[in-house]
Chains A and B, each alone.
Chain A
Amino acid sequence: MAQVILQDVQKSFGKDIAVDRFSLEVKDHEFMVFVGPSGCGKTTTLRMIAGLEDITAGDIYIGDRLVNRIPPKERDVAMVFQNYALYPHMSVFDNMAFGLKLKKKPRKEIEHRVKETAEMLGISEFLDRKPKALSGGQRQRVALGRAIVRVPQVYLFDEPLSNLDAKLRIQMRLELKKLHERMERTSIYVTHDQIEAMTMGDRIVVMKNGLIQQVGEPLELYFMPTNRFVASFIGSPTMNFIRAHIEQAGDNLMVGSEGLQLPVPDKKIEALAAYGNREVILGIRPDDLSATGTLGERGTLRAGVVVVQPVGSQIYLEVKVGSLSLIASVNAQTRVKPRQEIILKARLENLHFFDPSTEKAIY
């Protein structure tokens, strides 16, 4: 059993606070992803769990053990670094056997385990080579192998895929996930790539400026972001944000801005009633704008196409609604040209609302 528990963990470098009030419980065998823009403290947090960085305040438990003062080598964790950190003067075999040799395992066992792991990762044929004779993807596998071969309680990944090209990254994403299922170990994975986070994580921690913004399952973050930052960080293309007014129109509550009037979805009416005649931030995901509407229908808006970006499965449209600039992700079959006028239909139940001063979501 190796859950990882962080309680009010704080890290400061001099006066700068890098990580603040970080509390989290990573369950046994869970694949937890830390995501956020660079400098948000995600790597620092990972390094604190690894023991490479002292913690300024708070407690970290691995399993049932308080590890605050336990050195890295006794924490039973393995880490995969962004730059792989392979020893350039050792062969792939020696790189992978390094930890086992230090643990004074019998030679037979080391050989067996390294070979088995190498086979699993498809690097058996490179065991005699030096890292510099390998491609980026192969080095990545060796780094992975070196971590796996030790079979620690917890795996830590620090942006392990960010040095690979896009195609390889997607392939490794899948392999890592499969590996996780197979190894049945707790994993904590740091990335700045929200797609990596969404596709790999059982749960995701979104961080910004050293603070946890939200912890949740991937789709929970997508559909119910707790604040504007999470809403903008998760999902691609980024959510459209519009400063809008809540107005009472007959029986309906309407949200409107220049050139745009949408009825407030039923489930949000109660929460938004308090914002009557006040400003809110309306969030619409590009995916929730389709080109299937007919004018006059509930939740439609008239838009002028500015830029058309086909990506294959979808077409990203940059459109003008009044003076607002919005992105819509519409069906690939849609035939549109720049300067053409179209009718967009918003999926009303998926509209997001944020308080303009706190930027928190209004539920």
Chain B
Amino acid sequence: MAQRFAQKLLRFYIPLILFLLFLLFPFYWMLVTTFKSDVELYNLSLNPFYIYTWSLANVKHLLFDTPFLRWLFNTFLVSVVSAFISLATSLLAAYGIQRIRFRGSGFMGIAIFFCYLVPPTILFIPLATMVFKLKIWDSLVSLSIIYPTFLIPFCTWLLMGYFKSIPKELEECAMMDGASRLWVFFKVIIPLSLPGIVSAGIFAFTLSWNEYLYALTFISSSLKKTISVGLVTELVRGDVYHWGPLMAGALLGSVPIALIYSFFVEYYVAGMTGALKE
């Protein structure tokens, strides 16, 4: 018994704890830096892992001296809109490719996947031209319609995998009972794929939330920036890093994501494993 516990400790808990420490350390660093005063932060003789005197100065600076709340709102808006556009499109695309065996559906699936493989560092130049021509430069509209370019392939593939796990007989049976294709889609497929849809939605939301390159390229006014760009462009002046507010921004910026993940964790796990349990 003791031996078995020791084995489990060695093989399971210790690696798990090490892994956890490794993953959580950046968050701890963020937290510690956020709530330190500058004096303490730059004093190298002190223990950097510990806060001697707590201070809210960094948070105050971030919230009141920069448009951080505006960035937060921008980021949220862009993420929700682009996640919504992507989901609506991907649901139809994934269903079409997976279930309506039209000529070239297999090729279509692969073609969509290849879109995902083209890196943004190549795409942003042609996309910039398009954004200019559409006269949506320096507006959140540009991000809301550019983000789906990488979100749709991603969500489509995730949902295709999920749809595959739903037995075809469910649809066939409904059709024999007199249901139309659309009816089946809305009353059978969508309710059954909720975990998949939720996890695709979360992914789309997170990817938009964290996006940096397009946001940096297509937005220039301070008030229209997203968090990821705003923090770096406004809190790093030349070679001066305002570490305190930067870390406060990073911390506050990751809180919504953490909340969403913990809220939907069950759906999300079910969505990733793709299993439909009857």
A binds B: yes
Complex-state Cα separation, A51 to B177, whole angstroms: 12
Q: Is B266 an interface residue when CB atoms closer than 8 A count as contact? A: no
Q: Determine which of B167, B169, B176 lies in contact with A77 in the assembled complex, contact meaning CB atoms within 8 Å.
A: B176
Closest A residue by C-beta to B174 = A98
Complex-state Cα separation, A146 to B177, whole angstroms: 9
- Chain B: minimal CB distance from A72 (Å): 5
* A-contacting residues, B160-214, CB 8 Å: 167, 169-170, 172-179, 183, 188, 191-192
Known: A85-B170, A132-B277. A102 touches B177 (CB 8 A): yes
* A-contacting residues, B131-178, CB 8 Å: 167, 169-170, 172-178
Once the chains bind, are A73 and B278 in contact (CB under 8 Å)? no
Contact size class for B?
Answer: 10 to 19
- Chain A: minimal CB distance from B201 (Å): 19
Complex-state Cα separation, A139 to B183, whole angstroms: 24
Complex-state Cα separation, A294 to B277, whole angstroms: 62
Complex-state Cα separation, A81 to B174, whole angstroms: 12
Q: Is B235 an interface residue when CB atoms closer than 8 A count as contact? A: no
| Contact residues in B for A87 (Cβ distance below 8 Å) | 170, 174, 188, 192
| Contact residues in A for B32 (Cβ distance below 8 Å) | none
Once the chains bind, are A102 and B170 in contact (CB under 8 Å)? no
Closest B residue by C-beta to A77 = B176
Task: Map CB proximity to B onto A139-156 as digits: 1 under 8 Å, 0 otherwise.
Answer: 100000010001000000
Complex-state Cα separation, A56 to B191, whole angstroms: 35
| Contact residues in B for A132 (Cβ distance below 8 Å) | 277-278
Known: A88-B192, A88-B276. A81 touches B178 (CB 8 A): no
Residue of A51, A78, A88 with highest tally of chain B CB at under 10 A: A88
Complex-state Cα separation, A131 to B175, whole angstroms: 20
Complex-state Cα separation, A88 to B167, whole angstroms: 11
Q: Is A99 an interface residue when CB atoms closer than 8 A count as contact? A: yes
Once the chains bind, are A102 and B278 in contact (CB under 8 Å)? no
| Contact residues in B for A52 (Cβ distance below 8 Å) | 172, 175-176
Once the chains bind, are A85 and B173 in contact (CB under 8 Å)? yes
Q: Determine which of B178, B191, B276, B277 lies in contact with A102 in the assembled complex, contact meaning CB atoms within 8 Å.
A: B178
Known: A85-B170, A131-B278. A79 touches B176 (CB 8 A): yes
Chain A: residues with Cβ within 8 Å of the partner, total of 27
Closest B residue by C-beta to A103 = B178
Closest B residue by C-beta to A152 = B176
Q: Is A89 an interface residue when CB atoms closer than 8 A count as contact? A: yes
| Contact residues in B for A200 (Cβ distance below 8 Å) | none
Closest B residue by C-beta to A89 = B191
Known: A86-B278, A87-B188, A88-B276. A72 touches B172 (CB 8 A): yes
Once the chains bind, are B169 and A83 in contact (CB under 8 Å)? yes
Q: Is A50 an interface residue when CB atoms closer than 8 A count as contact? A: yes
| Contact residues in B for A83 (Cβ distance below 8 Å) | 167, 169
| Contact residues in A for B170 (Cβ distance below 8 Å) | 85, 87
| Contact residues in A for B188 (Cβ distance below 8 Å) | 87
| Contact residues in B for A71 (Cβ distance below 8 Å) | 175
A-B residue pairs in contact (CB < 8 Å), sample of 29: A50-B172, A52-B172, A52-B175, A72-B175, A73-B178, A73-B179, A75-B176, A79-B172, A79-B173, A82-B169, A85-B167, A85-B169, A85-B172, A86-B278, A87-B170, A87-B174, A88-B192, A88-B277, A88-B278, A89-B191, A98-B174, A99-B177, A99-B178, A102-B177, A102-B178, A102-B179, A103-B178, A132-B277, A132-B278
Q: Given contacts A81-B173, A146-B173, list 6 more A-B pairs with CB under 8 A.
A: A73-B175, A77-B176, A81-B169, A88-B276, A102-B178, A150-B177
